[in-house]
Structure 1
Amino acid sequence: MSNDILVKAVEVTKNFGSFRALDAASLEVKKGEVCCIIGPSGSGKSTFLRCINLLERMDGGAIWVNGELIGYRRDGDHLHEISDAEISRQRRRIGMVFQRFNLFPHMTALENIIEGPVQVLNEPMAEARDRAMALLDRVGLADKAGHYPSELSGGQQQRVAIARALGMRPDLILFDEPTSALDPELVQEVLDVMKDLASSGMTMIVVTHELGFARNVANTVAFMEAGKMEEVGPASQVLSMPKSTRTAEFIKAVHN
């Protein structure tokens, strides 16, 4: 695998009973790139992300992150599922920001960010605290360090969630429709933080309906339909001159 490829997914398949959620989906994302995955609801976008960070076990295909096979170890021609401890180790390097924030409600913004570095990475508390404060400042929430999630707006909670993902020093951050649960006036504050992350060189895979963000920030765009990567290419090409009729229909329908 090329040294500049951070994520390589090859013919990933995932079934839920008789329903095929992913159907031989393949994608490559280079280090420092932003890839936006678009497509209708139920097309497999979130399931694809969940396979990358091992929240779902794939039924076929393979995914590598930073050259390491995810979820399995190879023994000759055979693949063996790795242990829960090995899964946890792999997952540490893959941040994830969810649609519904998933902050710990009984912890302050600062405590939410500190928890992973202290408990998982064994960082000293003082060091983790200093880094967490710097991350809160980065997302524009240094003054909210002592606030609980219930005291924050949806946009502020999502910015804390992004800071929490960064606290684990990930190689990659996955965003699963990070603005879809927000009131319209709060969307831009989250997109601005994501744009800043992209400009700093963070590798990101973003499932989104925000085509304006994809057009302005993404290097590549993948359109998914019925579990397949229907079209993958440079953002300018896919969004302005799609080769697939289905991609063109979707973009016209969303039109933002």
Structure 2
Amino acid sequence: MSAPPLLRAWRVGKSFGTHRALEDVTLEVARGEVVCLIGPSGSGKTTFLRCVNQLERYDAGGLWIGGELLGFREAGGRLHPLPEREIARQRRSTGMVFQRFNLFPHMTALENVIEGPIRALRRPRAEAVAEARRLLDRVGLFNRQDYYPAALSGGQQQRVAIARALAMRPELMLFDEPTSALDPELVGEVLGAMRDLARSGSTMLVVTHELGFAREVGNRIVFMDAGRVVESGPSQALLTSPQEERTRNFLSAVLG
């Protein structure tokens, strides 16, 4: 029997007022798998990531990480929203890297990385510092640990953000267009850090417009449009031989 997926989404829906941002989104991510979400702006990719990280509450279907239902508990045949404390506990299973780096400007790179483990996980400071230095070294920033964000390039700040997310020891790493705010010459260093993560066996769900990265690193690509999953398949196959006309039109426009 195959191992159960780390992430399971079943018919997930989400509305903002009268706008239906997600509709019947069903997909799975296995442990150690890298899945890339692609699609036009407004297709629901970021909203789906925010539902997985519980920054938004989905209003239909279900999301499970490691078999645990996210955001709700079942009692008396009905689902009841979890209190914020339980949501915070569940959120620790995911680490999210945003488009913007969101580093604390008054803290050094090292201080940014240790903040979560010390405050949220109650780890001893010496242990958190040792792991933060290891993670900063892993993303190529060991010699920048005492620098403040203002003294770092955009690519360096995003790599600090990756180290900060990893410091919480998440089961699933979420990336929301992590290179979109970077100058073109800085994109490669962030994608390089993400490649290293993938090679180490990290489970990753990546919203990206970098189709070369998706082809090289992604095990699977999921194409979304209008809040729905249009097509999903192995990266190389989907990019070279898409089955759906909407996917073909999108890739033709993007790839020329």
TM-score of the superposition, structure 2-length normalised?
Answer: 0.98
Could you give the per-residue CA deviations for residues 176-196 of structure 1, whole angstroms, max 9, x where no partner exists?
000000000000000000000
Question: 1:159 deviation in Å?
Answer: 0.2
SS of the equivalent of 1:192 reads: helix
SS of the equivalent of 2:41 reads: coil
Identity %: 62
Q: Give the corresponding residue for 2:134.
A: 134
Q: Give the corresponding residue for 1:18.
A: 18
SS of the equivalent of 2:6 reads: strand
RMSD: 1.2
SS of the equivalent of 1:43 reads: coil
Q: Give the corresponding residue for 2:186.
A: 186
**What code does the residue aligned with 1:88 have?**
A
**What code does the residue aligned with 2:204 have?**
M
Q: 1:15-164, aligned counterparts within 5 Å?
A: 15-164=15-164
Structure 1 gaps, min length 5: none
2-side partners of 1:41 and 1:53: how far apart?
A: 20
Q: Give the corresponding residue for 1:205.
A: 205
Q: Give the corresponding residue for 1:225.
A: 225
2-side partners of 1:135 and 1:253: how far apart?
A: 38
Question: 1:77 deviation in Å?
Answer: 2.1
Question: 1:237 deviation in Å?
Answer: 1.5
2-side partners of 1:229 and 1:155: how far apart?
A: 31
Structure 2 gaps, min length 5: none
Could you give the per-residue CA deviations for residues 85-105 of structure 1, whole angstroms, max 9, x where no partner exists?
000000011000000011111
SS of the equivalent of 1:41 reads: coil
Question: 1:63 deviation in Å?
Answer: 0.3
2-side partners of 1:7 and 1:191: how far apart?
A: 23
Which 10-residue stretch deviates more, 166-175 or 237-246? 237-246
Question: 1:216 deviation in Å?
Answer: 0.3
2-side partners of 1:135 and 1:236: how far apart?
A: 31
**What code does the residue aligned with 2:91 have?**
R
Alignment: residue pair count: 256
2-side partners of 1:237 and 1:13: how far apart?
A: 28
TM-score of the superposition, structure 1-length normalised?
Answer: 0.98
2-side partners of 1:101 and 1:27: how far apart?
A: 28
Question: 1:76 deviation in Å?
Answer: 4.3
Question: 1:4 deviation in Å?
Answer: 3.4
- Deviating 4+ runs (over 2 angstroms): 1-4
**What code does the residue aligned with 2:6 have?**
L
**What code does the residue aligned with 2:239 have?**
L
